[in-house]
Amino acid sequence: MKSKVSIVRCSSYQEGLVHESVRRAIDLIGGITNFIKPQSRVLVKPNLLMAKPPSAGIDTHPEIVRSVVKILKKIGCEVFVGDGPSVWGNQIENVDLVYEVSGVKQVCQDEGAALVKFEKKIWKKNFPFTSWVDTSDCIINLPKFKTHDFTLLTGAIKNLFGLIPGTYKTELHKNYFDPKDFSKILVDIYEEIRPCLTIVDGIVAMEGDGPATSGKLRNLNLLLASSDCVALDSILALIMGVAPLDILTNKEALGRNLGQAQLDSIEILGEELRDVMGEPFMLPSTSLIRKIPRPALKLAKKLIRYYPYLEAKNCLHCQACIEACPFQAISMKKEKINFNYSKCSACFCCQEACPAQAIKVKRNLFAKMIGL
Ligand code: SF4
Ligand code: SF4
């Protein structure tokens, strides 16, 4: 059977418009009760990466959360909203501040949803998940559509990484620093925790060096919904201008029969895909390796390297990058950030943590020589 993905246009984050559009996105694929039983306990999981206001376009917009809470409340559900924001090294982003600044706290207060923290863990399939995955009957996944320096796309499957609380996320980054291995971990998580429904915030998406302050915002004016995260991420890939199976999580998940990645296995409802595919997204600097012909790729991967470097004029000396680095490859000397490239794994956690666009990506000499 084909997986259903709805695509709905929504031109702004105005409350009424978002509500109408979210409702339509859900109705197109069968309506809320097709996925959630009335009176259920539901965990709503937005992407709350860092303490930035909605205008920064980094976190899932609070109006999407509001709309979903309202829809759930209308069918008598008990609603919990939470995320495990980023962990910079051993320092966990201040969750209270993230909830406050992102606007999600206010929405929960307005709509009578419980804002929860991912403090208690339960182990499932070798991962410590937030215990809220067991407390709830089902999960609604609310990712933000963004490019990602490490995984190329952060969408439906990647957003579930936030269900792992605290510093264990750093351990995973440390132990699975190859994007292919890391993608397998993300799919392990998806295999264990399958959201009933995913709604993607693509009203303002992000391209370039996402997923944080170094990315560029793009007004896409779209909401997408599905119960199949693989199908959703495949459609996001196509909108980005990337083949679905070039997203490593899609390839891995398809191989495990966890969803559909081929267009002929996906039924698109609402807008036509060709009508919403504009100019291809500007991809992260680290993805330029895609220009290399396949036969040369294996050798090139060994020779091409990307590194973070400091744009000193932007640096606030906050040291968030030092805390973020899982490999202790960054230090501060004489008021200047220094990278120890012999320790660097090119995970770009530092760039994600930097609040000031002060960390850019540079190529090694070989990459420059071959024009990447
Ligand atoms: S310095 Fe290298 S290893 Fe450390 S966070 Fe940045 S990219 Fe990752
Ligand atoms: S590079 Fe960014 S994260 Fe690091 S100290 Fe400077 S502003 Fe802070």
Residue range of the domain that includes 353:
285-369
Is the sign of the CA dihedral 323, 324, 326, 328 positive or negative? negative
Domain boundary among 259, 276, 293: 276
SS3 (DSSP) at 286? helix
SS3 (DSSP) at 62? helix
Spacing, Cα 80 to ligand 1 middle (Å): 34
Instruction: Give the per-residue pLDDT at 173.
Output: 74
In this structure, the number of other CB atoms found within 10 A of the CB of residue 279 comes to 8
Averages of pLDDT over each 10 residues, the chain, 372 residues? 97 98 98 98 96 96 98 98 73 82 98 94 90 96 95 96 83 78 95 97 96 94 98 98 95 97 96 95 78 58 75 93 89 92 86 88 63 50
Instruction: Give the per-residue pLDDT at 210.
Output: 92
Angle (deg, nearest 10), helices 248-255 and 229-240: 150
Ligand 2 atom closest to Cα of 319? 5
Spacing, Cα 320 to ligand 2 middle (Å): 6
Residues 17 and 149 in one domain: yes
Tokens of 71: 């829809």
Residues 268 and 293 in one domain: no
| DSSP assigned state of 343 | T
Residue with tokens 């943590």: 353
Residue 336 CB less than 6 A away from ligand 2: no
Backbone region of residue 81 per phi and psi (left: phi > 0; alpha: psi in -120 to 50; beta: other values): beta
Instruction: Give the per-residue pLDDT at 292.
Output: 57
Domain boundary among 224, 246, 276: 276
Total domains present in the chain: 2
Q: Please, are residues 193 and 163 in contact by the beta-carbon 8 Å criterion?
A: yes
Ligand 2 atom closest to Cα of 324? 3
Residue 332 CB less than 6 A away from ligand 2: no
Which ligand is in closest contact with the Cα of 332? Answer: 2
Ligand 2 atom closest to Cα of 316? 7
Residue 354 CB less than 6 A away from ligand 2: yes
Residues 108 and 142 in one domain: yes
Residues 8 and 83 in one domain: yes
Residues 298 and 238 in one domain: no
**Nearest CA-CA partner of 230 in 220, 245, 241:** 245
Residue 212 CB less than 6 A away from ligand 2: no
Instruction: Give the per-residue pLDDT at 91.
Output: 58
Instruction: For the chain, report the end-to-end CA distance as a whole number of angstroms.
Output: 41
302-329 confidence digits (pLDDT tens): 666 778 999 999 999 999 899 888 889 9
Distances from the Cα of 348 to the Cαs of 90, 136, 193, in angstroms? Answer: 16, 33, 26
Q: Give the domain CATH number at 115.
A: 3.40.50.11440
Q: Give the domain CATH number at 362.
A: 3.30.70.20
Contacts with 27 (C-beta within 8 Å, 6 or more apart), sequence order:
none
Contacts with 353 (C-beta within 8 Å, 6 or more apart), sequence order:
50, 86, 88, 212, 320, 321, 323, 324
Please classify residue 294 by burial: count the beta carbons closer than 10 Å to its beta carbon, then call 0-12 exposed, 13-18 middle and 19+ buried: exposed
Which secondary structure element, helix H or strand E, spans residue 75, and what is its range?
A: none
SS3 (DSSP) at 175? helix
Which ligand is in closest contact with the Cα of 349? Answer: 1
Instruction: Give the per-residue pLDDT at 86.
Output: 66
Q: Please, are residues 82 and 45 in contact by the beta-carbon 8 Å criterion?
A: yes
Contacts with 33 (C-beta within 8 Å, 6 or more apart), sequence order:
75
Q: For 185, list phi and psi in degrees, rounded to 5.
A: -65, -45
Strand partners, 146: 154, 206
Contacts with 290 (C-beta within 8 Å, 6 or more apart), sequence order:
246, 283
**Nearest CA-CA partner of 283 in 350, 355, 210, 345:** 210
Residue 359 CB less than 6 A away from ligand 2: yes
Instruction: Give the per-residue pLDDT at 289.
Output: 59
Which ligand is in closest contact with the Cα of 339? Answer: 1
Domain boundary among 256, 276, 296: 276
Residues 226 and 316 in one domain: no
Contacts with 257 (C-beta within 8 Å, 6 or more apart), sequence order:
none
Instruction: Give the per-residue pLDDT at 326.
Output: 83
Question: What is the pTM (predicted TM-score) of this model?
Answer: 0.84
Residues 84 and 149 in one domain: yes
Instruction: Give the per-residue pLDDT at 122.
Output: 92
